[in-house]
Amino acid sequence: MGFPVTRLRRLRRTPQLRTMVRETSLSPDDFILPYFVRNGTGISREISSMPGVSQMSIDVLVENGKAALSEGIRAIMLFGIPDYKDATGTGAYDENGIIPRAVRALKSECPDLVVVTDVCMCEYTDHGHCGIIKNGEVDNDPTLELLAKASLAYARAGADIIAPSDMMDGRIGVIRNVLDDNRYDHIPIMAYSAKFASGFYGPFRDAAESPPQFGDRRSYQMDPANRLEAMREIALDIEEGADIIMVKPAMPYLDIIREARNQYCLPLAAYQVSGEYAMIHAAARNGWLDFDTVMMESLIAIKRAGADMILTYFARTAARKLA
């Protein structure tokens, strides 16, 4: 029935009515908070392009993890900045490297916090690519062995979830096998399945000190123009044993999130990346956008698109606002 009988404004008249008909809600349970950890003590070094986000030493990270947990955040994602970088990213799979040490500290002092470890080579290689290089190209299959070694080192340290972000072909299957063969068959894999070669990762590369020293990541990360290929990436990861699938970045790829939600039944994560965070901060600082409004709107939009969990640097700020 059309106007004048149907008037959609009737249910928008008061805050109470609007709450009754609200279709999507946010909770701190939805958030996974990324952290950047490096060696040292007492270090908290703010990243200039990411206001409020810092590289932290393990002691500071543990205190932050406890505070986040007390504010309702259940899960964090760890990125490591190693002491040294080399051609094969040794720091990524060193059992005493930065991530295994951070995981052990977190799990002993803050056991209830779910610790997700990103698995990639780019922070650990001197050339900044996500795999090892042969004849100027990222060499897929030899990289898989290193990713598997890193995954096993993180699981041994006590990581709750392993999250490979490298976009090599076949990595989920190889990591699943190595975990299963070493009695870590209970550890889930969160696959960065549809990870696009995005300009929105800019600030992250400052934070993780991981920009590629030559070329770009377009021979392994996805072309932003491709939707159907994203579904193939997800299907392959599921076949290889992914427990959670991810779309990344989030806001420019809401259509991919929705399509993944419609096609697949696995838990779906979306990563609101560094550039999405930086952009909102920058506009708010200029007085061009209202920070709280836009932060919450960006998160609800990602949830509405179909994400069950959101990796976001806003996690604590948004959780406080929801409290």
- Counting contacts by CB under 6 A, is residue 165 touching ligand PBG? yes
Cβ 130 to ligand PBG shortest distance, Å: 5
- Give first-to-last CA distance, the chain, whole Å: 40
321 is catalytic: no
For residue 248, the SS3 value is: strand
- Counting contacts by CB under 6 A, is residue 273 touching ligand PBG? yes
Decide whether 21 or 172 has the Cβ nearer to ligand PBG. 172
- Counting contacts by CB under 6 A, is residue 280 touching ligand PBG? no
- Counting contacts by CB under 6 A, is residue 233 touching ligand PBG? no
Question: Side chain identity at 111, as an amino acid letter?
Answer: P
Give the tokens for residue 52: 């409020």
Cβ 20 to ligand PBG shortest distance, Å: 36
Choices 62-70, 117-125, 226-234, 281-289; region in contact with ligand PBG by CB under 6 A? 117-125
Binding mask 70-109 for ligand PBG (x = CB under 6 A): ----------------------------------------
Q: What share of the chain is helix, strand, coil (3-state, %, to 5)?
A: 45, 20, 35
- Counting contacts by CB under 6 A, is residue 204 touching ligand PBG? yes
Choices 88-96, 99-107, 116-124, 150-158; region in contact with ligand PBG by CB under 6 A? 116-124
Cβ 296 to ligand PBG shortest distance, Å: 19
- Counting contacts by CB under 6 A, is residue 154 touching ligand PBG? no
Decide whether 25 or 103 has the Cβ nearer to ligand PBG. 103
Exposure of 13 by Cβ count < 10 A (0-12 exposed, 13-18 middle, 19+ buried)? exposed
d(CA 96, CA 46): 25
Active-site hit among 85, 134, 149, 248: 248
Give the tokens for residue 96: 């005493």
Give the tokens for residue 289: 């956008």
Cβ 271 to ligand PBG shortest distance, Å: 6
d(CA 215, CA 142): 20
d(CA 162, CA 190): 6
Of 140, 274, 298, 312, the residue at the interface with ligand PBG (CB under 6 A) is: 274
248 is catalytic: yes
- Counting contacts by CB under 6 A, is residue 201 touching ligand PBG? yes
Instruction: Say if strands 44-47 and 50-56 run parallel, antiparallel, or are unpaired.
Output: antiparallel
Decide whether 90 or 182 has the Cβ nearer to ligand PBG. 90
Strand partners, 46: 54
Residue list 122-141, contact with ligand PBG (CB under 6 A): 122, 130
Helix extents (H) in the chain = 15-20, 58-70, 90-93, 98-109, 140-157, 171-181, 202-207, 228-240, 254-263, 274-285, 291-305, 315-322
d(CA 14, CA 250): 31
Choices 7-15, 20-28, 118-126, 172-180; region in contact with ligand PBG by CB under 6 A? 118-126
User: Catalytic positions, please?
Assistant: 195, 248
Applying CB under 6 A, which residues contact ligand PBG? 118, 120, 122, 130, 165, 201, 204-205, 217, 273-274
